């Protein structure tokens, strides 16, 4: 590819005080290979249109302020190369830059992060020290490298909110906790200096919380720090189960998989709704069930266990026995 060329940028602009809706402004600029998207839009602001508004600060992928959608995907403008983006253009040679999704636009590429911050507060995403107030600052509260290991990946988060922008559930529910906040909450729960995991977890599994993640893995795919965010989401759910918070629909649904793999090897879909939702909500599903039945889309009423189910049961029992021995200190 050429080392220097003219490239078209389409920036989605919107000033809520003046504009009825967002519109694209198009700029053609001559750029050299090696330039980042942030440098390019900074050039446009400095030399072509000073009204273009966006957030940026460190220019090194650390502060997380310049997240925006580049060719439809949430990324940091400062770590994204223009030449790389030329490979991703829906229309050849045209780079489309838009504000992040799932947030209101304050102006042009600047989105309102307040709801994100409010959720961080709502879910107590800070360490609640297990040291008495009077003793704080008197004695060092250390975290050993081994203790840090479990949360290390989660501490890489720079709060850029690319995951929030990409999240399928955030798109349809602005009250949804979001992957970002779950990652933070998980990190605090597992911090050995923290004393609020029990209370925090109770809040995490309420409506719009941890059980509403739809496992689309968009957060993982688009995390600019390559954090396996699903590990934290699943970690929060496991913590809820381990703490006995098993009465929610999400918890009951998840545990059904464990029960069915043990008893039958396969999921017993015929009773899954009643086990997840209870009797009342299952009865409300009757019209849907009848429609499914009219097309013979019904799970077997008495599903057969798999051909070697006795071995699967033995596997589960061996696991339980080993756990008991471990607890007694005889691995």
Partner 1 sequence: MKYAYYLSCINESLTKELDRSLECWKNDLGIVLVKLEAGTCCGGSNFDFVNPDLCLVNNARNIALAEQLDLDLVTSCNTCLLGIRHAKTILDGSEEKRKYVNRYLEKESLEYKGTSEVKHLLWVLNEDYGLDRLAEKVVKPLTGLKLAPFYGCHILRPSALMGVDNPNAPKSLDLLLETLGAETVEYKSKNRCCGFHTLLVAEEQSLDICGGAVQDGIDSGADFIVTPCPLCHTSLDSYQKKALSKQNRNDSIPILHLSQVVGLALGYSSKELGIDRHIVSESVLQ
Using CB under 8 A, list all residues that contact partner 1: 72-73, 88, 168-169, 171-173, 176, 211-218, 220-221, 228, 230, 234-235, 237-238, 241, 249-250, 253-258, 260-261, 265-267, 269-270, 272-273, 276-277, 288, 291-292, 295-300, 303, 306-308, 311-312, 314-316, 318-319
**Between 129 and 265, CB nearer to partner 1:** 265
Alpha-carbon distance of 70 to 86, in angstroms, equals 11
DSSP state of 154: G
Minimum separation from the CB atom of position 4 to partner 1 (A): 26
Own/partner contacts of 167-175, CB < 8 Å, gap of 24 or more, are 167/102, 167/216, 167/218, 167/219, 168/214, 168/216, 168/218, 169/212, 169/213, 169/214, 169/216, 170/101, 170/102, 171/101, 171/102, 173/208, 173/212, 174/102, 174/115, 175/208
Minimum separation from the CB atom of position 174 to partner 1 (A): 11
Alpha-carbon distance of 97 to 44, in angstroms, equals 13
Minimum separation from the CB atom of position 304 to partner 1 (A): 9
Measured CA to CA in angstroms, residue 268 lies from 239, 262, 279, 299 at distances of 25, 11, 17, 8
**Between 44 and 260, CB nearer to partner 1:** 260
**Between 149 and 221, CB nearer to partner 1:** 221
**Between 79 and 168, CB nearer to partner 1:** 168
Minimum separation from the CB atom of position 88 to partner 1 (A): 7
Minimum separation from the CB atom of position 113 to partner 1 (A): 22
Element of type H or E holding 149: helix 145-149
DSSP bridge partners of 14: none
**Between 31 and 241, CB nearer to partner 1:** 241
Own/partner contacts of 28-32, CB < 8 Å, gap of 24 or more, are 30/4, 30/5, 30/6, 31/4, 31/5, 31/6, 31/7, 31/82, 32/3, 32/4
**Between 33 and 215, CB nearer to partner 1:** 215
Minimum separation from the CB atom of position 96 to partner 1 (A): 13
The rounded Cα 67 to chain-centroid distance in angstroms is 15
Minimum separation from the CB atom of position 1 to partner 1 (A): 18
**Between 52 and 240, CB nearer to partner 1:** 240
**Between 42 and 189, CB nearer to partner 1:** 189
E strand spans, 84-128: 94-98, 105-107, 110-111
Minimum separation from the CB atom of position 86 to partner 1 (A): 13
Both structure tokens of 203: 């809040």
Alpha-carbon distance of 148 to 155, in angstroms, equals 9
């Amino acid at each position: 590819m050429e080392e220097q060329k003219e490239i078209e940028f389409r920036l989605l602009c919107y000033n809520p005080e003046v504009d009825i809706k967002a519109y694209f402004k198009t700029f053609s600029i001559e750029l050299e290979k090696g330039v980042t998207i942030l440098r390019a839009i900074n050039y446009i602001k400095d030399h072509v249109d000073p009204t273009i508004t966006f957030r940026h600060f460190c220019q090194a992928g650390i502060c997380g302020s310049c997240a925006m959608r580049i060719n439809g995907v949430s990324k940091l403008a400062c770590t994204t190369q223009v030449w790389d983006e030329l490979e991703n253009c829906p229309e050849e040679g045209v780079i489309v830059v838009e504000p992040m999704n799932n947030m209101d636009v304050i102006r042009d590429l600047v989105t309102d992060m307040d709801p994100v911050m409010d959720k961080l507060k709502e879910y107590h995403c800070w360490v609640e020290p297990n040291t008495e107030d009077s003793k704080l600052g008197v004695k060092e509260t250390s975290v050993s490298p081994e203790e840090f290991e479990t949360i290390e990946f989660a501490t890489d988060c720079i709060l850029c909110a690319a995951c929030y922008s990409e999240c399928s559930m955030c798109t349809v529910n602005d009250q949804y906790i979001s992957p970002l906040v779950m990652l933070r909450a998980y990190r605090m729960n597992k911090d050995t200096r923290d004393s609020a995991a029990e209370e925090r977890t109770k809040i995490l599994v309420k409506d719009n919380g941890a059980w509403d993640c739809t496992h689309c893995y968009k957060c993982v795919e688009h995390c600019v720090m390559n954090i396996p965010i699903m590990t934290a989401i699943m970690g929060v759910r496991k913590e809820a189960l381990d703490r006995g918070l098993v009465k929610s629909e999400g918890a009951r649904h998840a545990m059904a998989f464990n029960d069915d793999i043990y008893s039958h090897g396969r999921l017993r879909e015929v009773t899954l709704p009643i086990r997840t939702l209870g009797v009342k909500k299952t009865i409300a599903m009757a019209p849907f069930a009848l429609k499914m039945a009219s097309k013979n889309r019904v799970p077997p009423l008495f599903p057969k266990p798999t051909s070697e189910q006795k071995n699967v049961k033995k596997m589960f029992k061996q696991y339980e026995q080993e756990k008991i021995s471990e607890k007694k200190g005889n691995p």
